[in-house]
Copies of this chain bind each other. A is one copy, B any other.
């Protein structure tokens, strides 16, 4: 199965996000309400996007660290398909999100956001607890500090897919970066500024999809 294309709406207002999204809505598979947009506008963007796009996968990137069931209820009540937990959350927090989601429907899921010094031992623990999705990051601020993708990223990604995780990759990805990952069964590819800030965002999204098709089929 080829990777899905996800766009992170890391806008600072819902209106800006909607203006942006309408340009490339037909070319993407997953709409992400970015953490920045959540901080700015709360859960309302999820509600609005669900009303506008009833068939899309909508991800609420809240990076929950605690009170998993309660946060999950907020996200799934608003219409999210997926939500995120931060990797430093207690596994019980993640389990709380997952169980709450399952009560809303089988397609509801939780993604673990891999930031900082998480370990493969933790990953095994998450898998054993029934968590299925992880998001592998090159942090935005790490990027700004000049850190690129390297072999150690690919090794970790490979270990995670071998463990059976559905793995999403993100972090300043451009179309020309995708070939790096072509031998891995990546589940989802997140683009943000490289689509949102393109002079022609639809064309940019289509270029991602074309490259995904070329590499993974």
Contact = CB atoms under 8 A, between A and B. Distances in A.
Given A35-B67, A39-B71, A74-B39, A116 B89 contact: yes
Nearest to A137: B66
- What number of copies of this chain does the assembly contain? 2
Contacts of A119: 117
A116 B43 CA distance: 25
A142 interface: yes
Interface stretch (A48-56, A57-65, A173-181): A57-65
Contacts of A71: 35-36, 39
Interface stretch (A90-98, A160-168, A197-205): A90-98
A93 B139 contact: yes
Contacts of A144: 92
A64 B65 CA distance: 11
Task: Classify the secondary structure of A's interface with B.
Answer: mixed
A66 B122 contact: no
Interface residues of A, number: 44
B87 A88 contact: yes
Contact of A74 (B12, B44, B90): B12
Given A92-B142, A93-B139, A35 B66 contact: yes
A1 interface: no
Interface string A67-108: 110110011000000000011111011001000000000000
